[in-house]
A and B are shown apart, each in its own frame.
Chain A
Amino acid sequence: MAKSAALQMGQQVGASFQNGKKQEDLRYRLYSLAIIIVILAVWEIAPRLGLVSPIILPSFTAVVGALISLMQQDFFLRHFSVTLTEIVVGFVLGTSIGLVLGIALAVWPAAKRIAYPFVVGFQAIPKIVFAPLFIAWFGFGMSSKVVMAVVVSFFPVLINTMVGLESVPAEARKLMRSIKATPLQTFRKVSLPHALPVIFAGVKAALTFVVIGAIVGEFVGASEGLGYLVELYKNQLRIDRVFAVIVILAAIGAGGYFLLEWLDRKLIFWRSDVEGK
């Protein structure tokens, strides 16, 4: 068949194209690796040569040492799990609230007209200023940090959910109307899947904000958590341990991001088809 021959040829062309792309990927990975090595080398050498004081910037190996010794302390797990819990609970609540509000504003025009000015006004406030207030309201425990994390993270999910749901092509809506689909059927079968890539972008942004919210909450008032540890070690001038905690926080953030990235590809498989990944 001419058609299948054409398809095969297409696949071959695709394969050689992908080979070229793989080589290119590898090249860029090598560049990234080279940059990392240079940064680590400067980080290691500068304090050792006395270019910067080890109190300001401990060398890379000193930080690695601090990281290992910190992780061996029995109190470490407690602080780690407190912050991780705040992040996970804050993320689940924040994204859920953003999703529900975004859906409500998108499907219910009256709600949008009434609530949208408040939503935008609220977004204009630098929400970090609420941190002392939340400590006063919800105490020194985890709940004030969770509230902080929720408040800083729900907005990108809300906006992206709304925009995603509202960007369903007119012809798709018309098709659903022409076959007398109910609003719920249209929502489930067309609007929500259509909005999913955009919603997911908002969810990824929310993750970053959740970590920031939890840590800021801990800075302002806490007796445990990784943010508390940063404050503590800074006051003790144990800067190597401050860096060690930062590395752990970076790892939490990166871990969450890769988890979401993986979920994104599983869930929104049709997008990766387009990009030919």
Chain B
Amino acid sequence: MMVEPIRETASPIVAAQDARPPVIEISALGKTFTLDSGPVVALESVDLTIRKGEFISFVGPSGCGKSTLLNMVAGLLSPSQGEATLNGARIDEPSRQVGFMFQTAVLLPWRTVEENVLMPAEIFGTKTQALREKARSVLEAVGLGEFLKAYPQQLSGGMQQRVSPRTLTSEPDVLLMDEPFGALDEFTREAMNMELMRITQAAGITVLFVTHNITEAVFMADRVVVMTPHPGKVSGVVDVDLPRPRDIGQMQEQRFTDLMFKVRGILGHG
């Protein structure tokens, strides 16, 4: 267990979160890829404790190891050093308690939107009427209620991307997001982010959110993990003490701007 840093601005919200049990504990986690040209350090020793219901943003330029980190927490990639645990158990394979939202929606063209959303349930063997209702409500939340029976190729690219939150259908405890709305226009993206924040906060889902957008990272998170490349590593963690529920208006506040510049400062172009 690492020692939590003392916070300069211990707001009641952050203090309450600290009382929650840790869900994911990352200790000395690193990844080195062996290429023909020699070993490449993708991620250098990371220590991080994530508590239940926390929203953590990982922000940094490409090559900073944020996706590598996420893939290791997902159990899709085995670490070279250290380990990550989920509820105390070492992660060495994917878990059904963990949902993963990819950069693209990954829709199979021979399945309707609804069938695509229900595919994990088919694999889990949990495809029930209740789950169908859940899938419907998730799709309605992202504005695709009318397109349940449509095939993906009948939807626009942006609409396809909006199917990404389907992971929520299986009610995961932890949600990993790898820039899932990267291809969306800014307005839709903002709306999707707000909706996602509402759902995960209400359900107490722990979120690890990877992005290269600083504004988004700060606005969504309880803590922003700032990462830098060559080699990929964590350069700092910024506590976001803005009260919840968040609304767009908070972006105008001085505190928000300060936090953004704090992140920028760590990234090295403040």
Contacts and interface: CB of A to CB of B under 8 A. Distances in A.
Interface of A: 1, 3-4, 7, 169, 171-172, 174-181, 185, 189-190, 193-194, 268-271, 273-274
Interface string B82-101: 00000000000111101010
Contacts of A270: 109-110, 151, 153
Contact of A178 (B76, B103, B122, B153): B76
B151 A273 contact: yes
Contacts, number: 62
10 contacts: A3-B146, A7-B146, A177-B76, A178-B98, A180-B93, A189-B122, A189-B123, A190-B108, A193-B108, A274-B153
A87 to B, nearest CB: 30
A15 to B, nearest CB: 15
Nearest to B176: A178
Given A178-B74, A178-B100, A4 B119 contact: no
Contacts of B104: 171
Nearest to B99: A178
Given A3-B146, A4-B146, A189-B122, A177 B108 contact: no
Given A189-B119, A190-B108, 13 more contacts: A169-B106, A171-B102, A172-B106, A174-B76, A175-B106, A176-B123, A179-B94, A179-B119, A179-B124, A179-B170, A180-B95, A270-B109, A270-B110
B154 interface: yes
Nearest to B105: A171
Nearest to A193: B110
A181 B119 CA distance: 10
Contacts of B102: 171, 174-175
A1 B145 CA distance: 12
B120 interface: yes
B-side interface size class: 20 to 34
A176 B94 CA distance: 10
A181 B153 contact: no
Given A175-B102, A178-B74, A178-B100, A269 B123 contact: no
A75 B110 CA distance: 48
Interface centre among A7, A176, A178 (most CB of B within 10 A): A178
A180 B76 contact: no
Given A175-B102, A179-B94, A270-B151, A185 B123 contact: yes
Contacts of B154: 273
B37 to A, nearest CB: 22
B106 A171 contact: yes
A194 B108 CA distance: 8
B111 to A, nearest CB: 9
4 pairs of A and B residues whose beta carbons are closest in the complex: A270-B109, A178-B100, A179-B120, A270-B110
Nearest to A271: B109
A180 B106 contact: no
A271 B153 CA distance: 9
A189 B119 CA distance: 9
B109 A179 contact: no
Nearest to B124: A179
Interface centre among B104, B109, B122, B151 (most CB of A within 10 A): B109
B94 A178 contact: yes
A174 to B, nearest CB: 6
A180 B124 CA distance: 8
A177 B78 CA distance: 13
Contacts of B103: 171
